[in-house]
Structure 1
């Protein structure tokens, strides 16, 4: 029996999307984290590494046997051809594993696909019933990412500029949660409100 509802969860870097994913999991959803899948595919022994090494050279793989993410980020930024090469390797593998994980859902269980680049990839919009966007100001994104990752402001802004804009995400959203200057408890209330709206009392969940 298919899952009752398939939600696409997205948001810019530093928006708090992972926190919202955890809150949705607490409400009973099965969360499929595509970023975690991508990391597993490029970890030591990951299924994507042979094709990446063939396409980009052995130096794309770090001394630890995993993808050198910093080096690859430098290689694909501003290089659409290289980016398409990388996406052509990763995206089919991510989609396959995401679908496999989704199929483990209980009968009637909502599945949340946590997809950072849901808007950019396009095809995810056809795979979900609802799109939930977690939004915040660019200034807050920069503050959070610099605190979390230790990136410089310029690097953080460069990543943000390569992602879909706040307006582009809002344009495809069925609901938007503004996670800017609010407490965790308030954020949880916002998540609850969306969940309850999308799961009326007679819903399978």
Structure 2
């Protein structure tokens, strides 16, 4: 059974998550092509931390000018380095960003026009407040060595850097344990798309 969503009237909300390099963005794009309304916490976070974004001045006040680039955006590289090295910095950052992200997600959910909302949250399992917002949770899954290889290929990060990011996220087992549905993305794109197609049919409003 899904979570009790009676406190959140409105469209059906399906949560989508997965570890870095799992392919959740590709899966999300497939759902969007089928008509789901995409609400992506990462996209929202980037807008909040872009020049003029609502998070910029709170971040400057909390961390100082080192956290903001000359263009007026969050200095992601500097913040990533500090946040991974210091849990207090990471907690401060999350304390500023998470409520703003949540507010914008709720606005976009309320304005949704698709048959259901696909709420894409990379840290859905880690920031447990999201779980109760979703009727179903879909986890995009693949072996960890494949995750590492994909991230290293696309980002140029070292294996040690990728391992550090993965270590800061929920484990593969924790994500799988939280899932109502698992998309196996160890194969090719056609396999991913076929699994998304099948889930989309189940998520349509007249289905259970």
Inter-partner Cα distance in structure 2 for 1:110 and 1:197: 11
CA distance in 2, matches of 1:187, 1:198: 17
TM-score by length of 1: 0.93
Displacement of 1:144 in angstroms is: 1.0
Task: Pick the aligned partner of 1:111 from 101, 117, 132.
Answer: 117
- Aligned counterpart in structure 1 of residue 166 of structure 2, from 157, 160, 166: 160
Indicate the RMSD between aligned Cα atoms, in angstroms.
Answer: 1.6
Give how far 1:120 is off: 0.4
- Alignment size in residue pairs: 200
Distance 1:66 1:78 in 2: 21
Per-residue deviation, 1:142: 1.1
Could you tell me which runs of 5 or more consecutive residues in structure 2 were left unpaired when the two chains were aligned.
1-8
Question: 1:199: Cα distance to partner?
Answer: 3.3
* Counterpart position of 1:102: 109
Partner of residue 199 from structure 1, selected from 170, 192, 204: 204
1:34 corresponds to = 41
For 1:18 and 1:133, the matched residues in 2 are separated by: 12
Within a 5 Å distance, the mapping from 1:1-205 to structure 2 comes to: 2-3=10-11, 5-106=12-113, 109-180=115-186, 182-199=187-204, 202-203=206-207
Q: Could you list the per-position Cα deviations for residues 112-144 of structure 1 after superposition, in whole angstroms to 9, with x for gaps in the alignment?
A: 100000000000001110000001111111111
Q: CA deviation at 1:184?
A: 1.0
Please tell me whether the aligned partners of residues 17 and 120 of structure 2 are also in contact (alpha carbons under 8 angstroms): yes
Q: Any gaps of 5 or more consecutive residues in structure 1?
A: none
CA distance in 2: counterparts of 1:49 and 1:197, whole angstroms: 40
What is the CA distance between 1:78 and its match in structure 2? 3.9
Q: Which residue of 1 aligns with 2:5?
A: none
The answer to whether the 8 A contact 2:40-2:120 is kept is: yes
